[in-house]
Amino acid sequence: MQILSQACGDYATNCYIIKSDKGDFIIDPGFNAFDFVQKNVQDPKAILNTHGHFDHVWDNAKLKDFYQIPIYIRKEDEFMLEDPFHMGHTPSKADILIEDENELEISGMKFKFHFFPGHTPGCCMIELVGENLMFSGDFLFKQSIGRWDFPYSDGKAMKQSLQKVLTYTKDYELLCGHGDKTSLKQEQANIPAWINYIG
């Protein structure tokens, strides 16, 4: 298995491609991610969105139409695919709305959408089951967390999500929505300070 990444657009949003013998899986295709994906996939199976912000879903529609593959997103963020911020991306339609935290098999690969609302109503970290790896989207970054002051964000929910992730005892490598990778254990050390900061 191989994981490729490209920082896309003005916000340097990380788009990831999981390449495996079961096919290729695309995580958060942002602005101009289409070119990066087209150059690097041979057998695309699905698009997985950590959340619905425009910089993470910008090329959803283009990739879905071109490859005829499904989009997966947490149900609470489905409305964001319709461009409620009027940022100009082509609206896309989810094929699978995630409603729980059960393991999900897609073309022989197992994923789990860990639900951490706050940054958006449906914000998730997506685990690649069996690999001690999560795509953390905009929930956790290296030495930082996602903002909770945007429209549809919720500081109270973010605080509860941070308290929830502190209960995780297993470590994971975190591939973040922006910036460098980190680990869950590293970020858990910073989370109490963030909880206090949110108030």
For residue 96, the domain's CATH number is 3.60.15.10
Q: CA dihedral defined by 83, 12, 20, 24, rounded to 10 degrees?
A: 30
pLDDT for res 84:
76
**Is 184 within 8 Å of 134 (Cβ atoms)?**
yes
Q: State how far the alpha carbon of 4 is from the alpha carbons of 25, 37, 40, in Å.
A: 10, 10, 8
Q: How many domains does the chain have?
A: 1
pLDDT for res 138:
98
Bridge partner list, 112: 103, 127
Residues of the chain with pLDDT under 50: none
Q: State how far the alpha carbon of 21 is from the alpha carbons of 44, 101, 109, 133, in Å.
A: 11, 25, 10, 18
Q: Please tell me the distance from the alpha carbon of residue 73 to that of residue 91, in angstroms, as a whole number.
A: 14
| Type of residue numbered 96 | I
pLDDT for res 142:
98
The sheet that has 71-74: what strands, in order across it? 2-8, 13-20, 23-27, 44-48, 71-74, 96-98
Angle, nearest 10°, between helix axes 155-166 and 191-198? 160
Closest CA to 49 of 80, 7, 11: 80
Q: Specify the pTM.
A: 0.97
pLDDT for res 83:
83
**Is 146 within 8 Å of 155 (Cβ atoms)?**
no
Q: Please tell me the distance from the alpha carbon of residue 38 to that of residue 44, in angstroms, as a whole number.
A: 10
DSSP 8-state secondary structure symbol assigned to residue 134? E
Bridge partner list, 127: 112, 134
Closest CA to 185 of 168, 198, 197: 168
Structure tokens at 64: 């879905």
pLDDT for res 87:
83
Give the range of the structural domain holding residue 60, as residue numbers without chain letter: 2-198
Q: Please tell me the distance from the alpha carbon of residue 63 to that of residue 182, in angstroms, as a whole number.
A: 28
Helix (H) or strand (E) holding 126: strand 124-128
Helix (H) or strand (E) holding 46: strand 44-48
